[in-house]
Amino acid sequence: MGCATFWLLFGTTVGEYLGIKFVAPDIDHDSWLSFGRLRPVHTNAVFWGWASLAMLGLAYYVIPRVSNVSIASVKSGYRSLVLINASVILGSLFLMAGINNGGGEYREYIWPVMALFGIGVIISLNNFFKTITKRTTKEIYVSNWYIISAMMFLLVIAVIAYWPSWQNGLGETIVQGYYMHQGVGMWFMLFNLGLMYYFLPQQLNKPIYSYSLGILAFWAQILFYTVIGTHHFIFSAIPWWLQTVAIVGSAGMIIPVVAGTTNFLMTFKGSWHKLSGSYTLPFYLIGIIFYFTGSLQGTAEAFRFTNLVWHFTDFTVAHSHLTMYGIICFMLWGFIYTVVPRLTGKEPPQITVGAHFWLALIGLLFYTFPLMYGSTLRGLMWMEGTKSFMESVELMAPYWLWRAIGGSLMWFSHILFAYNFYVMVKRKEK
């Protein structure tokens, strides 16, 4: 958790600097700090450093709990931690030096660096497998279904993305769409939903509303999410039928999203009064709300007309933050605020937890809504074809300012989160 918190601060500090560059592009002239090099440093640090380490750290708590046994090997957990941290450190340095994979988004790390990350995940996966096989419970709880599947999918996705046989022409483009979307949906989303299936019932002190809905959402996500990557390349040279399959799969995602959201909200039923007295449940609820709205927004973006308007604009940047930040980060913060006080016996100051929550939420809204509105105007301007490209750039200037303001609020909330985490883990004074 501590390492994850560091990477959150590091990665979003880089992101904050990039946001400032949109309104002050000549702030520096150093190649190591150029936008093209720092942008992947930001995305990969928060993906593989912050979110991935936080998820794995929480899984080391959840899996033994639902299996009713201790973790198979604590040493293996530390080995995994060292390898993943080494991967993100080396990857960030290489990216800033201009050494990268030359591939698509989120796979900028060169393959030896990503291999370190993969080995770290394999070690933890093996550790979790051994723990689950020793379980004293008859069933394998649904949380373990989601978490183990997410780790297995990540390894498959990474091998496919870095395997050289199809890294030319359209093959690379198709693989990029597959990798980029599976990384979000089958690693981060699947993993966090598994954590939610443990923490939400536990926090509300009641069972999940429907185990069957959880299994339906699980298999429906595997069925539909694995075919939607090509919707990033509508109207490209990729075969038309493959684009259509991605659109159909995107529409099919309504099933697991509605099933999962219904399951979570119905679990809340009869316990809404607990929100006012809890500093963790608001994070859970916001994550669930954005899970529903952000996922359905992704479905809406996949259709050909909406793709024509929004693709190549900052609408996709807004969407990625609604999902990765609104869903993944809010869920992880809620889970961390839940579990760390249990382990250390120390709770964070509720006033700074509340400030963290509201700054992150308001900052996210300031960041995303202006970008979505401005990008829609920009896309329609491009389709109209009567104005120059530079006029569309000038159009976005005020919306980029809102992006920087929202990003600043989000970044400041992360400082508060780091302070809260420090309070929860610091040693008691003798």
Under 8 Å between Cβ of 51 and 332: yes
C-alpha–C-alpha distance, residues 119 and 102, integer Å = 22
Instruction: Tell me which residue of 274, 279, 277, 285 sits closest to 423, measured CA to CA.
Output: 279
Residue 49 reports pLDDT greater than 90: yes
- Residue range 215-228, pLDDT digits in tens: 999 999 999 999 99
Tally the C-alpha atoms within 13 A of residue 389's C-alpha that lie toward its C-beta.
2
Amino acid found at 405: I
- Residue range 128-162, pLDDT digits in tens: 999 999 999 888 889 999 999 999 999 999 999 88
CA dihedral of 323, 420, 348, 76, whole degrees rounded to 10: 80
Q: Quick one: average pLDDT of 57-74?
A: 95
Please state, in angstroms and as integers, the Cα–Cα distance from residue 40 to each residue in 95, 169, 287, following that order: 7, 22, 25
Residue 430 reports pLDDT greater than 60: no
Of 33-42, 284-293, 356-365, 366-375, which range is least confident?
A: 33-42
- Which one is the CATH code of 2-425: 1.20.210.10, 1.10.10.10, 2.60.40.10, 1.10.1520.10? 1.20.210.10
> Where does 253-349 have alpha helices with state H?
254-268, 281-302, 304-310, 315-323, 330-344
Q: pLDDT tier at 20 (50, 70, 90 boundaries)?
A: confident
DSSP state of 206: S
pTM of the model: 0.94
Under 8 Å between Cβ of 260 and 142: no
What's the confidence (pLDDT) of residue 170?
85
Both tokens assigned to 138: 């008859």
What's the confidence (pLDDT) of residue 103?
67
DSSP state of 39: H
Length of the chain: 430
C-alpha–C-alpha distance, residues 11 and 92, integer Å = 10
Give the CA angle between residues 197, 271, 253 to the nearest 5°: 40
What's the confidence (pLDDT) of residue 429?
58
